[in-house]
């Protein structure tokens, strides 16, 4: 892929061309030159699953339950900021940027809400803001953030929508609702190869929906499929002519064996669900949040992005990112250990000389609270 083509190929999820640079980004010619310079110097970068992941400030990245979009040659990672500055009266969503998926720069808390600022008509009391996912709408040139918005006891079960003119600007809260009138807790995002944007949402007790967003992305337009499986942490990727859906069981903050299914169409029919990893590992102690497709000059890789929650010290929750073994209807999460990626070529390499990641198990008292939201 030429540098120019790389600039014009959007990102997350990850093969949709973004032809118009959004406000706030450098002109294409400038970015092309920068991209070439980066390419010359670029080395595969190492990612260490399960370890503290430090940002440019030397602080552990706070982007839990996150999502990623790529604009030009830059990836933007949005997620829950669980740092101790945010107690359960205050919720924050952080944004980080990277050109190599390993080194991340903190761009700021792009959305915050306190209990005092919660929408007056949100049922219940208390506030939950989780699993933010940002989409770029080429028609409106707006960045549209979906979040799981809830009351403290997770009974409201809604989404919130916030918008910004720039990717890392302050997102302005617009509205909240139950998508398609249904309960919605964990949300995921998927942008198909043709650019169509979908929201995945968990609708207890029916299953999880794959739903198309409206043209302006500000509402949920159409239910493409209701998969009758009780699953959260839903994520999708389109790889080599097949859709792969993954998700976790519903065990609160506790890890469980995540599953995948395949279909030739988003509308299904979906295959039976199978384990993505040996079930006794509980997905190596993690829970899915996104499948990131990196289309390179030599190959296409799909990265499993998972959260290793630490419910009592959420700020120290870790990330499990690993390249998946995927193809021909099979998907497998390899045993986590240090690995590297060259985002230009799409090639990944697992360092087999590095020790395998230790699988953390939550304290038994936490494990007992197996069923949760």
Chain residues that interact with ligand DGJ, rule: CB under 6 A: 65, 130-131, 186, 232-233, 252-253, 287, 372-373
Q: Which is nearer to ligand DGJ, 279 or 372 (CB)?
A: 372
Tokens of 107: 């761009």
Three-state secondary-structure class, residue 233: strand
Q: Which residue has the tokens 């509308």?
A: 267
Q: What are phi and psi of 252, to 5 degrees?
A: 60, -130
Q: Which is nearer to ligand DGJ, 65 or 336 (CB)?
A: 65
Q: Which is nearer to ligand DGJ, 353 or 364 (CB)?
A: 364
In this structure, the dihedral spanned by the alpha carbons of residues 219, 137, 263 and 260, taken in order and rounded to 10 degrees, is: -80
Cα-trace Rg, the chain = 19
Q: Which is nearer to ligand DGJ, 142 or 256 (CB)?
A: 256
CB atoms within 10 A of CB 178: 15
Task: Give the CA angle between residues 68, 72, 77 to the nearest 5°.
Answer: 20
Q: Closest separation between CB of residue 259 and ligand DGJ, Å?
A: 14
Q: Closest separation between CB of residue 252 and ligand DGJ, Å?
A: 4
Which residue has its beta carbon closest to ligand DGJ?
A: 252
Q: Closest separation between CB of residue 327 and ligand DGJ, Å?
A: 27
Q: Closest separation between CB of residue 73 and ligand DGJ, Å?
A: 30
Q: Closest separation between CB of residue 128 and ligand DGJ, Å?
A: 7
Q: Which is nearer to ligand DGJ, 205 or 355 (CB)?
A: 205
Q: Closest separation between CB of residue 237 and ligand DGJ, Å?
A: 19
In the sheet that holds 274-275, the strands lie side by side as 232-239, 242-248, 259-263, 274-275
Q: Which is nearer to ligand DGJ, 78 or 339 (CB)?
A: 78
| 80-109 core/surface letters (b: 16 or more CB in 10 A; e: else) | bbbeeebeeebbbbbbbbbbbbbebebbeb
């Amino acid at each position: 892929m030429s540098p120019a083509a790389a600039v014009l190929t959007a990102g997350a999820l990850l093969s949709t061309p973004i032809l118009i640079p959004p406000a706030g980004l450098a002109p294409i010619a400038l970015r092309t030159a920068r991209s070439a310079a980066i390419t010359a110097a670029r080395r595969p970068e190492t990612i260490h699953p399960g370890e503290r992941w430090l940002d440019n400030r030397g602080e552990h990245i706070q982007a839990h339950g996150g999502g990623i979009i790529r604009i030009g040659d830059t990836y933007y990672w949005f997620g829950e900021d669980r740092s101790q500055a945010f107690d359960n009266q205050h919720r924050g969503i952080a944004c980080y940027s990277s050109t190599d998926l390993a080194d991340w720069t903190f761009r700021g808390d792009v959305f915050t809400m306190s209990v005092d600022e919660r929408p007056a008509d949100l049922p219940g009391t208390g506030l939950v803001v989780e699993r933010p996912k940002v989409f770029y709408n080429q028609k409106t040139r707006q960045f549209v953030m979906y979040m799981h918005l809830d009351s403290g006891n997770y009974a409201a079960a809604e989404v919130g929508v916030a918008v910004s003119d720039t990717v890392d600007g302050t997102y302005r809260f617009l509205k909240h609702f139950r998508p398609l009138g249904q309960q919605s807790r964990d949300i995921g995002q998927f942008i198909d190869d043709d650019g169509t944007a979908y929201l995945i949402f968990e609708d207890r007790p029916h299953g999880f929906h794959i739903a198309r967003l409206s043209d302006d992305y500000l509402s949920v337009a159409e239910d493409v499929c209701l998969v009758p499986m009780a699953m959260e942490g839903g994520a999708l990727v389109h790889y080599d002519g097949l859709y792969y859906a993954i998700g976790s069981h519903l065990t609160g903050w506790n890890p469980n064996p995540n599953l995948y299914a395949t279909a030739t169409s988003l509308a299904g029919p979906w295959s039976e669900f199978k384990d993505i990893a040996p079930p006794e590992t509980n997905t190596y102690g993690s829970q899915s949040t996104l499948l990131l497709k990196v289309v390179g000059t030599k190959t296409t890789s799909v990265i499993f992005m998972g959260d290793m929650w630490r419910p009592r010290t959420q700020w120290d929750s870790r990330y499990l990112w690993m390249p998946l073994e995927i193809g021909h209807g099979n998907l497998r999460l390899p045993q986590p250990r240090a690995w590297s990626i060259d985002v230009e070529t799409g090639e990944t390499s697992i360092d087999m000389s590095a020790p395998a990641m230790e699988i953390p198990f939550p304290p038994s008292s936490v494990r007992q609270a197996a069923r949760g939201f």
